[in-house]
Amino acid sequence: MDEAAAIARLKSCGVIPVVVIEDAGRAVDLAHALVAGGIDVVEVTLRRPAAIEALAAIARSVPKALAVAGTVVTPAQVSQVKDAGAQAVVSPGFSESVDEALRKAGLPWLPGVATASDCMRAVAAGRTTAKFFPAEQAGGPPALKALSGPFPQMSFCPTGGVGLKNLGDYLALPQVICVGGSWLVPADAIASGDWNRITTLAREAKEAFLKFRG
């Protein structure tokens, strides 16, 4: 999948679930539950040992979901997630070495930015779509709006402190293509296999997105 197609999927989905998973055996059911609720992008963060296996399971068994690797911070991880079948990659920050590895791997990438300096580095590398992280701690919608002044070519996926209560504040900004968050994939629901709850949360998130962008 090329970068334009991946970004189009993110925009269409609207809300990107940020998944921290402890048991790879639950990954496929989790992805199916999200898809049932209208969320067809799944970002599996590399924060737990089970992440690579979980990512691979989703990429292999849930074709309706875009399998995204999150928290990729080293070139070595780029190779791992490509081998696992990741279709796109998200990072919490910007790194020239990770940028180079992803170009060689041919994978779409959303680097993380939080400051004007981060944006300058991303733009210099030709990266104009980024994850704004940590969104709330970095100043929220006012900060994002301010960054868009000197960087009108950039678009963003705010993540970090985003939820149903403030999702609309971000989506009101034209430079925001989607938002990300973990609220629709709570750890206790994943651990207990409460897939109905996950589907309900996904549906609520999708409806909230469509309210502002439908």
C-alpha to C-alpha distances, 85 to 15, 105, 148, 170, nearest whole angstrom: 21, 12, 33, 31
CA gap 25, 159 in Å, rounded = 26
Residue 111 tokens, joined: 């680097």
Q: Which class for 190: exposed (0-12), middle (13-18), buried (19 or more C-beta within 10 A)?
A: buried
Catalytic residue among 43, 96, 104, 204: 43
Q: Which amino acid is at 155?
A: S
Amino acid present at 187: A
Q: Which residue type, as a one-letter code, is found at position 114?
A: A
> Which is the catalytic residue, given 82, 131, 165, 207?
131
Judge contact between 15 and 201, C-beta under 8 A.
no
131 annotated active-site: yes
Nearest-angstrom CA–CA distance, 82 and 52? 10
- Report how far residue 47's alpha carbon sits from residue 87's, in angstroms, rounded to the nearest whole number: 18
CA-nearest of 135, 190, 201, 213 to 19 is 190
Q: DSSP assignment, residue 39?
A: -
Is 204 a catalytic site residue? no
Would you please indicate which residues are annotated as catalytic (active-site) residues?
Answer: 43, 131
